[in-house]
Structures are given as structure tokens and as C-alpha cells.
Structure 1
Amino acid sequence: MSDKPYYEHHVFFCTNVREDDSRQSCGKCGALDAQGYAKKRIKQLGLNGPGKVRINKSGCLDRCEEGPVVVVYPQGTWYTYIDNSDIDEIIDRHILKGEVVDRLKI
């Protein structure tokens, strides 16, 4: 068995929708649209598939007040974002170049 991760990058977008307003909810901040956008962009770049990049939806990642949040594994780098340009920057810099996007890191 290999110690190498199955995916080069496994990206999780919290898409949790909290019905009460006790805490912020990533799902109410456009997270599902952002996840769909990232998945489409990765596919357009030809980076999807086994051994490459996987973009997934996630339930609550428990960083609600810092959200919306996305986490990139195997590095375990946490980001927040506002719009698709932030998602593009995470893809272009972190996924493609291996650079941490400090201005979005949480």
C-alpha cells in the first residue's frame, strides 16, 4: 500500500445550511455555487480524476464565524472567500503552483 494520497489535492467546501441563526452558515453565503464553480473550473483545466484534484461538498466544518470556508488536503490549508475571483486565486496559486494564498488563509 502506498503512502501517497489518492488525490494530489482534495478540496472540501462547507455547504452546511443552518436553519436557525445561532451561528453563521456557509451554505447561506453562496458556498454551493462556489463549490460548483470550482468543480467546473478544475474539470475545464483537465485536473479532475483519480490522482489529481477532487472538489467535494462538505457538511459543517465548524469554522462558521470565519466562513464561508474551504479546506485543501493533504496540506490542511484553510481558506475563506468572497467570490469566484477568490476561488480562481486558490486554484491558480495553491492547486496549480503550490503557493499558499495568505490573504485568504484562515
Structure 2
Amino acid sequence: MKYKKHVFICANQKAAPKKSCGEAHGNELVDAFKAALAERGLLKEMRAQRTACLDACAFGPALVVYPEGTYYGNVQLSDVNEIIESDLLNNQPVERLKLNY
């Protein structure tokens, strides 16, 4: 596997009145994850990228961390460092943000 961890962040945009992660700062989350991983020198072993709908719009902005397949919902920009430290670096999901499917 090329990356130890891969973060897919929903940046899907739907027409109003439907809720969409892209409209709820999904794109900003992509930028924040990429910047935070770069600051830590982790870009060769971890990747963050935008994706289309994760089918979790009601809980958005949403993202999923692979290879574990841990889904997170209502992720805020202030949660980025906690997700990186806890989940990506220490394999401990952030329970308060975790979506149980």
C-alpha cells in the first residue's frame, strides 16, 4: 500500500435546499488536512484528498479514513489536528466525531 493512511474528505456540492459537505466547508477541510500533513512532513506516508459524496450528507461535513474505514461527521476545521494526532498517527479514532454505520 502506498499510503499508511488515506483521508477522503467529502467536497460534494448539491443544489439547495439539500445539505452538502462542500457547502459546509468540505473544501476548506481538504486544504487544512493537506497543510497540516505537509507541516508534519507526512505527505509521503499519508494523503488527504477531496472526494464526491460519501452518502453521509446529513452528518456533514464528512470524511473517511482508510485503511480502517472510519467515518467522521460534523468535522470542523478545529478538529483537523486532533484527527491527525489521534487517528492518523496513533490509530485511536476520535470517538466524539465517529459515525457508526
TM (norm. structure 1) is: 0.88
Query: Relative to structure 2, which stretch is displaced further, 24-33 or 80-89?
Result: 80-89
1:52-67 matches, within 5 Å, as 52-67=45-60
Q: Which has the larger radius of gyration?
A: 1
SS of residue paired to 1:20: coil
AA in 1 matched with 2:56: R
Tell me the distance in 1 between the aligned counterparts of 2:3 and 2:20: 28
Residue 17 (str. 1) matches residue 19 (str. 2): no
Contact 1:24 1:64 in 2 (8 A): yes
Instruction: Say which of 4, 16, 28 aligns to 1:8.
Output: 4
Residue 45 (str. 1) matches residue 40 (str. 2): yes
| Post-superposition offset of 1:84 | 2.0
Tell me the distance in 2 between the aligned counterparts of 1:25 and 1:65: 8
Question: How much identity, in percent, do the aligned residues show?
Answer: 36
Tell me the distance in 1 between the aligned counterparts of 2:74 and 2:30: 11
Contact 2:75 2:97 in 1 (8 A): no
Structure 2 residues not aligned, in runs of 5+:
none
CA RMSD of aligned residues (A): 1.1
Instruction: Say which of 29, 53, 62 aligns to 1:34.
Output: 29
Structure 1 residues not aligned, in runs of 5+:
none
What count of residue pairs does the alignment treat as equivalent? Answer: 99
Contact 1:81 1:87 in 2 (8 A): no
Tell me the equivalent position of 2:62: 69
